[in-house]
Amino acid sequence: MASHQYGTTKRSTLTVLAAGASALALVACGGGDGEGDQAGGNDAVTLQLNWYPYGEHAPFYYGLDEGIFEEHGIDLTIEAGQGSARTVQAVGQQSFDFGWADTPALLANIDEGVDVKSVGVYLQDTPAAVQFFSETGISGPEDLKGRTIAVSAGDAVTLTFPMYLEAIGLSEDDVEQQNLDSAGKNAALISGQVDALIGFGHDQGPKIAAESGKEIDYLRYSDAGLSYFSNGLLTHSSTIEDDPELVERMVAATTDAFTAAQEAPEDAVAAMEGKDPQMPSGEVLLQQWEGTIELLNTENTEGMAPGHTSEEDWRETIEVLAEAGLIDEPKETDTYFDGSFTTEG
């Protein structure tokens, strides 16, 4: 693919990804060294999500309700996050035992020296998509030409947008990009200020449709052949070294929870009820979780348990993110990922 000029340097990208992270006040917790607090004989384990709870997170709450984490000797506490970069850094500071974060943010922070690793990627295809109201008249990628599209400078979806445009035969000059934060993008689309936005289709789309009462359509990056890993489980390198048995149990419990939630989507979403005041309605949560299910495997991992990844998919992810400027160069997979804890389903 041709080179792109979006942004300036990787350092400036990380400045956006990590904005405000140094001000995040978190309380350190036990569990990662195998000698942390015990609850009913189980290890007390903390998990910080990438954001406030939405449908993608249903397996964690369902796993708690169904006793899946307990079966694996884990007393799990789930905390909301404020963006993947902050979650990665919080785990790097050992303020949480595990984190749930977007792979691009994970790789970028590891390159900057944050001592964490992925131990399982569960969303193995990116949910990145151009999203727009059906009434807009956009029916295919070619219809984006001349449109105003809301973006968020520095995030992975925006940094790979030039690659998406190239894949569909357009250039950055063919569209007008309006830089807004996540909430601002949604508001701008609903108000008609922009024709479309880019973001996570499985999350934003159902929320925007519910708020506006209008039908949302999508042009997915993956449909244009642009694919890379999204959210997954990470932990501090010292946890892997000092208590691999805990990591193994946490990964196994997460995989079991995702498997169970696929088999009972409505029950999984119902387990989230009342867990956080910022959650959308149950209907939206269900749509978000059903959209997530579509992202859990690639052709290379079809039929395998959630969280099991292929080396081919890792290489594609690393190379795409290097070309987008999120990382300096495509390093070896084991720089970012410890595959000791995932097994074939």
**Average pLDDT rounded to a whole number, residues 144-173:** 96
Average pLDDT, whole number, for the chain? Answer: 90
| pLDDT confidence band for 14 (50 / 70 / 90) | very low
Dist CA 269 CA 251 (whole Å):
21
Q: Are strands 42-48 and 98-102 parallel, antiparallel or unpaired?
A: parallel
Q: In what order do the strands lie in the sheet with 128-133?
A: 176-179, 148-151, 196-200, 128-133, 216-220
**Mind listing the pLDDT tens digit for each residue in 42-67?**
999 999 999 999 999 999 999 999 99
- Report which of residues 343 and 207 the model is more confident about: 207
Per-residue pLDDT, 343: 60
Taking 50 as the threshold, does the pLDDT of residue 29 lie above it?
Answer: no
Superfamily (CATH) of domain 128-224: Periplasmic binding protein-like II (3.40.190.10)
Domain ranges of the chain: 10-125+229-341, 128-224
Please give the CATH number for the structural domain made up of 10-125+229-341: 3.40.190.10
Mean of the pLDDT values across residues 117-131? 98
Query: Sign of dihedral through CA atoms 103, 109, 112, 116?
Result: negative
pLDDT band (50, 70, 90) for residue 15: very low
**CA pair distance 80, 95, nearest whole angstrom:** 13
Please tell me the predicted confidence (pLDDT) of residue 100.
Answer: 98
Reply yes or no on whether the pLDDT at 3 is more than 90.
Answer: no
Mean pLDDT is lowest, of 32-41, 116-125, 151-160, 202-211, for 32-41
The residues with which 120 forms a beta bridge, in sequence order, are 233
User: Does residue 234 have a pLDDT over 90?
Assistant: yes
Alpha-carbon torsion (228, 234, 240, 245), positive or negative: negative
Confidence of residue 154 (pLDDT cuts 50, 70, 90): confident
pLDDT (tens digit per residue) in 193-218: 999 999 999 999 999 999 999 999 99
User: Which residues touch 82 (CB under 8 Å, ≥6 apart)?
Assistant: 20, 24, 51
Q: What is the β-pairing status of strands 98-102 and 74-79?
A: unpaired
Over its C-alpha atoms, the chain yields an Rg (Å, rounded) of 19
pLDDT for position 182: 83
pLDDT at 40: 58
Q: How many CB atoms lie within 10 A of CB 27?
A: 7
- Pick the residue with more confidence: 40 or 170? 170
pLDDT tens per residue across span 319-338: 999 999 999 999 999 999 99
Question: Facing residues of 102 across strands?
Answer: 231
The tokens for 326 are 């999120």
Domains 10-125+229-341 and 128-224 share a fold: yes
Instruction: Name 10's Cβ contacts closer than 8 Å, sequence gap at least 6.
Output: 108, 111, 325, 326, 327, 328
Torsion of CA 336, 342, 344, 345, to 10 degrees: -130
